[in-house]
Amino acid sequence: MKSLKLQRIFDGNKIYLFIFIFSIILMLIDLSVKAQNISISNDSTYTPKTSAILDVKAIDKGLLIPRVSLTSTTSASPITSPDSSLLVFNKATSSDVTPGYYYWDGAKWLRINIKDSRSIVSKTTSVTLLKSETLIMASNDISLTLPSINSNDNGLEITIKNVGTYLDLITVLGNGAALMDGTDSTHLYRWQSKTYVADGGNWFVKNHEESSENIFEVSPKGSWTTIPEIIGFLNEHIKAPSLIRLGTPLCEISATQVIHFSYPVTFEGLSYGHATIKGLAGISGNPLFDCQSDCYFKKILFSAHDNSVGSDAIHLTGSGIYCEVKDADFDGFNKGIVSTSNNDFWVFETDFNNCLGAGIEIAAAAASGGSMKISETDFLQCTKGIHLLSGLAETISILNCSFYNTTAGTDIGLYYDAATFSTFLSMFITNNAWNNQGTFISGFDFSRSDGRDANVFLINNAGMEDENPHCKINVNNNLTKTTITTANTFYKAIWTNSPTSYTCKWTLNNNKITYQPNNGKDVWAVITGNISVNNGNRVVTIGIVKNNTTTTRYGETDLRITTGSQPFQFSTVIYVPDLKKNDYLELFVTSNSSGDEVIFQDVQWFTNTK
């Protein structure tokens, strides 16, 4: 009986032993320990790779890394004495750690950046970004501050894109003293994006392209697609002198664009003839631009919608501003450029075509002290090329221009409206030309006794005489006597019949000519005629006296007259240096005998200046 019981125990243990041995075999099959390579797999036939000490294979399972809550990159906690290369998944956001994979390098935790895990984050208000926010879609006028970083974050990438309107400006700032490519801020305009890469506590911009942040391009695919858009943007954000580059062949404007900035702005085409600014129906009767602050227009074609009154290209309305137009073309306007205030502007290498009112007009009215310089500019089929309508104390320079008037003969190249153009400080009109149709230059009167136009320099213009100061006096058959009361004392020569004369920038009053211009000049004079004295064998002396100072006589000439009361022909050439405004010249005479009576029967007096 006892033997049977032992047998049963033995038989039961065999069953347990069999189960144990069978389990070991299964484990060996699953682990496949072969040549020091371990494979964990649910495939008993799988052979581990020889290059791996552990080869994990599954088609519907993953490897779960231990999940912990780190406190900072410099603290090992919650791991005790971690070995180098220890890998964990951090669940916490604390100090400088965020959820993600980290490994221990022997002294600190280093994050493993996995770019594919980035998600898009929207920002519409100014904030400081988190390290985990690596792809930002931003809009509105906001500032985004990059996260605080150190060398542990090297390689961290944050991409920011402006997806707002043409008015939105995204400002990106470094955190604390951190810089981005050496600067503490960068800007993003509509559709622009930049990727910032952490490096040693600072940031560099990935694929950085060197460019000025004050250059703005208007183009169909750019941040601004129209001129009104970029002007609207700069009205809110201009911080320095700015260049607006027109990258599209045609920019259309339906309402007047007001230029009123705190910094100068330049509008520029890519090259001459590439960019056209054209007016649409809505702007009829109004200018394309109203410039109230400094502005420049370069390499642009201006095309009018129509030439009705007010349909002009540019109005310069700001007081004391400076405007410059270069390499431009104006076609079909009522007026190309109109200055209505005391501003300074320069137009050069520009064409004005088919302007019904005027190519350029100064209409400053009572505004004082403006300045206009026009050079290397052509006016073609303009009713008035340049119209000096109104102004006060203006400075005008018109140099090297050409005027091509219509063959009908009604166009005027340069028209000076003397009735309303009150005064000017100086006016230079030189080296200009015309096509001998219509009128070249009109409105000036250099014979006026008040000297209104005396300070106009009108010289070296093809097709008209130089208007340097010059005059002519012509006396015929004078009978009035000049009495020499005391011998060798000079007396002013007298003629009382009305002489015929011509004057340019001199005032004439019988035997007196007065110099009008502000600038001094040297004077040459030629005086010829017939003189008689009532007694024979006399020495009669003539000469020019300046400002009635008879002690100094210019061109003094002795006439030895042998026969009394007979005409004696004389001629003298006179040089008077450095004549000033309001200096006057008169012809004086004396005789070597007291009581002689001298008659200047005929006088031709020609005066010129150099």
Average pLDDT of the segment spanning 459-466: 93
Question: Which residues, 6 or more positions from 515, have their beta carbon under 8 angstroms from its beta carbon?
Answer: 469, 505, 506, 521, 523, 579, 580, 581, 582, 583, 584, 585
Q: Are 43 and 57 in contact (CB under 8 A)?
A: yes
What letter would DSSP give residue 283?
Answer: G
Average pLDDT of the segment spanning 16-24: 53
Three-class SS state of 540:
strand
Cα 587 to Cα 542: distance, rounded to the nearest angstrom? 7
Domain positions in the chain = 17-61, 116-205, 215-459, 470-609
**Residue among 131, 245, 258 nearest 197 (CA):** 131
Average pLDDT of the segment spanning 336-355: 97
- Identical fold for domains 116-205 and 215-459, yes or no, is no
Q: Indicate the helix (H) or strand (E) that contains 203.
A: strand 202-205
Cα 381 to Cα 407: distance, rounded to the nearest angstrom? 9
Distances (CA, A) of 404 to 126, 248, 489: 60, 31, 59
CATH number of 215-459: 2.160.20
**Residue among 409, 345, 421, 407 nearest 377 (CA):** 345
Q: What is the pLDDT of residue 114?
A: 58
pLDDT in tens, 251-272: 999 999 999 999 999 999 999 9
Question: Which residues, 6 or more positions from 103, have their beta carbon under 8 angstroms from its beta carbon?
Answer: 85, 86, 87, 88, 109, 110, 112
Average pLDDT of the segment spanning 136-150: 96
pLDDT in tens, 210-228: 667 799 999 998 999 999 9
Least confident piece of the model among 103-107, 308-312, 521-525 = 103-107
116-205 to CATH, choices 3.60.21, 3.30.420, 2.60.120, 1.10.490: 2.60.120
Q: Are 47 and 62 in contact (CB under 8 A)?
A: no
Question: Which residues, 6 or more positions from 236, have their beta carbon under 8 angstroms from its beta carbon?
Answer: 141, 167, 169
Q: What is the pLDDT of residue 5?
A: 44
- The CATH class of 470-609 is mainly beta
**Residue among 375, 379, 292, 366 nearest 333 (CA):** 379
Q: Which two tokens stand for residue 479?
A: 């009978």
